[in-house]
Amino acid sequence: MSFNQFILGANYFVLGYFLLINGVYALLYFISFFEIADYTRREIFSGFSELFTSNYAPPVSVVVPAYNEEATIAASVRSFLTLRYPLHEVVVVNDGSRDGTLDVLKREFDLWEYDRPTRLQLQTAPIRGIYASTTERLIVVDKENGGKADALNAGICTAQYPLVCCLDADIILEEDALLKAARPAIEYGDVAAVGGIVRVANGCEVDAGRIVEIKTPRRALPNLQVVEYLRAFLAGRTGWSKINALLIISGAFGLFRKRDLIAAGGYSLGTVGEDMELVTRMHHVLRENNRKYRIVFVPDPVAWTEVPATLRVLRRQRDRWHRGLLDTLVRHRKMLFNPRYGIVGLFAMPYYFLFELLGPVIELLGYIAFVAGLLLGILNARFALAFFLVAVGLGALLSVAAVFLEELRLQRYPSWRDMVKLILYGIAENFGYRQLNTLWRVMAIFSFLRRNTDWGSMERRGFEQAKPPETTPKREYEEVKTSRDSE
Amino acid sequence: MGRPGLIEIAIVVMAGLNVVMILLTVAVKVARSLRESWLKARRSRIESALDDFLLAGEVRPELRRLRARELDVLAATMIEYLTVLRGSERERLLGLAVELGLVKRYAGWLSSQRRWRRARAAENLGYLGGSDSVGGLAKLLSDRDETVRAVAARALARIGTQEAAQALAQTLNDPSDLTRLRVAENLERIGPLAAPSLIDLLSSEERRSPILAARVLGNLRLLEAGPALEAAARTGTNVDLRAQATLALGKTGDPEYVPVLLEAAKDEEWPVRAQAANALRMIGEVSTIPTLKNLMADREWWVRVNAARALANFGAAGERALVDILEGEDRFARERAAATLEAQGITRRMVDDLASPGERGERARHVIRAMVKTGSTRHLRRILNDMPEGDNRRVLKKILAENNEL
Domain locations in chain B? 69-159, 345-406
3-state secondary structure of B155: helix
Q: Could A403 and B176 be called an inter-chain contact, meaning their C-beta atoms sit closer than 8 Å? A: no
Q: Could B147 and A46 be called an inter-chain contact, meaning their C-beta atoms sit closer than 8 Å? A: yes
Alpha-carbon distance B11 to nearest alpha carbon in chain A (angstroms): 7
DSSP label at residue A121: -
Using CA atoms, how far apart are residues A272 and A454, in angstroms rounded to an integer? 7
State pLDDT tens for residues B283-329.
Answer: 999 999 999 999 998 989 889 989 999 998 888 888 889 988 888 88
Q: For B340, phi and psi rounded to 5 degrees?
A: -70, -45
Of B138, B164, B132, which Cα lies nearest the Cα of B152?
A: B138
Q: CA-nearest residue of chain A to B14? A: A393
A-to-B residue pairs, Cβ atoms closer than 8 angstroms: 116
Using CA atoms, how far apart are residues A293 and A286, in angstroms rounded to an integer? 7
Query: Choosing among B9, B11, B124, B178, which should be mutated to test the A contact, i.e. which has the most A CBs within 10 A?
Result: B178
In this predicted structure, what is the pLDDT of residue A242? 92
Task: Mention the CATH class of domain B69-159.
Answer: mainly alpha
Strands A210-213 and A205-207: antiparallel
Q: Extract the residue ranges of chain A whose pLDDT is less than 50.
A: 458, 460, 463-487
Rg, C-alpha atoms of chain A: 23
**Crossing angle of the two packed helices B301-312 and B270-283, in degrees rounded to 10:** 0
Segment A311-315 long-range contacts (CB within 8 Å, at least 24 positions apart): A311/A221, A311/A436, A313/A456, A313/A457, A313/A458, A313/A459, A314/A221, A314/A225, A315/A440
Of A92, A60, A61, which Cα lies nearest the Cα of A78?
A: A92
Task: Give the one of A389, A397, A419 whose C-beta lies nearest to B21's C-beta.
Answer: A397
Q: CA-nearest residue of chain B to A416? A: B29
A172: β partners: A304
Using CA atoms, how far apart are residues B283 and B247, in angstroms rounded to an integer? 10
Distances (CA, A) of A268 to A61, A166, A328, A413, B159: 20, 14, 10, 37, 52
Q: Extract the residue ranges of chain B whose pLDDT is less than 50.
A: 1
Q: Return the C-alpha torsion angle B387, B391, B396, B399, nearest 10.
A: 160
Q: What residues have CB less than 8 Å from B40, skipping those under 6 apart?
A: none
Q: Which amino acid is at A48?
A: F
Query: Choosing among B8, B33, B177, B303, which should be mutated to test the A contact, i.e. which has the most A CBs within 10 A?
Result: B177
Helix, strand, coil content of chain A in percent (nearest 5): 50, 15, 30
Strands A253-257 and A457-458: unpaired
DSSP label at residue A268: P
Using CA atoms, how far apart are residues A98 and B392, in angstroms rounded to an integer? 36
Q: For B48, phi and psi rounded to 5 degrees?
A: -65, -40
Q: Which amino acid is at B173?
A: N
Q: Could B28 and A393 be called an inter-chain contact, meaning their C-beta atoms sit closer than 8 Å? A: no
Q: Could B215 and A56 be called an inter-chain contact, meaning their C-beta atoms sit closer than 8 Å? A: yes
Instruction: Kindly provide the b/e burial profile for residues A376-395, where b requires at least 16 CB atoms within 10 angstroms of the residue's own CB.
Output: eebbeeebbbbbebbbbbbb
In this predicted structure, what is the pLDDT of residue A222? 95
Using CA atoms, how far apart are residues A322 and A316, in angstroms rounded to an integer? 10
Q: Where are the domains of chain A?
A: 52-216+235-304
Q: For A209, phi and psi rounded to 5 degrees?
A: 75, 15
Whether the CA torsion B159, B165, B169, B171 is positive or negative: it is: negative
Task: Count the alpha carbons within 13 Å of A105 in the hemisphere toward its beta carbon.
Answer: 33
Cβ(A77)–Cβ(A90) below 8 Å:
yes
Strands A60-66 and A464-465: unpaired
Using CA atoms, how far apart are residues A338 and A347, in angstroms rounded to an integer? 10
Using CA atoms, how far apart are residues B383 and A63, in angstroms rounded to an integer? 30
Whether the CA torsion A82, A85, A86, A92 is positive or negative: it is: negative
CATH number of A52-216+235-304: 3.90.550.10
Q: Which amino acid is at B153?
A: A
Q: Is A396 an interface residue toward B (CB < 8 Å)?
A: yes
State pLDDT tens for residues B193-225.
Answer: 999 989 988 988 888 889 999 999 999 998 899
Q: CA-nearest residue of chain A to B32? A: A408
Whether the CA torsion B89, B91, B96, B101 is positive or negative: it is: positive
Of A185, A206, A204, which Cα lies nearest the Cα of A194?
A: A185
Using CA atoms, how far apart are residues B19 and A380, in angstroms rounded to an integer? 28
Using CA atoms, how far apart are residues A155 and A150, in angstroms rounded to an integer? 9
A132: β partners: A112, A139
